[in-house]
Amino acid sequence: MAHILPPFRADHVGSFLRTEKVINARNLFNKNLLSKEELTKVEDEEIALLHRNSKFYVARPRQ
């Protein structure tokens, strides 16, 4: 069966899994071993990394 390309572009809508780095930081925060500012910094860095990596997989318009 031939692969049929859809006439639309699909975007990811939903949640991503938390990285190990974020999980560990939240655990440390919950144990009062990490400040709110430090937790926010880790989360922001991981979100930025996810965003940079997601640009690699962006659907390109068909020629």
Burial 9-42 (b: 16+ CB within 10 A, else e): eeeeeeeeeebeebeebeeebeeeebeeeebeeb
For the chain, residues with pLDDT lower than 50 are none
pTM, two decimals, is: 0.66
Q: What is the pLDDT, as a whole number, of residue 33?
A: 98
CB 50 within 8 A of CB 57: no
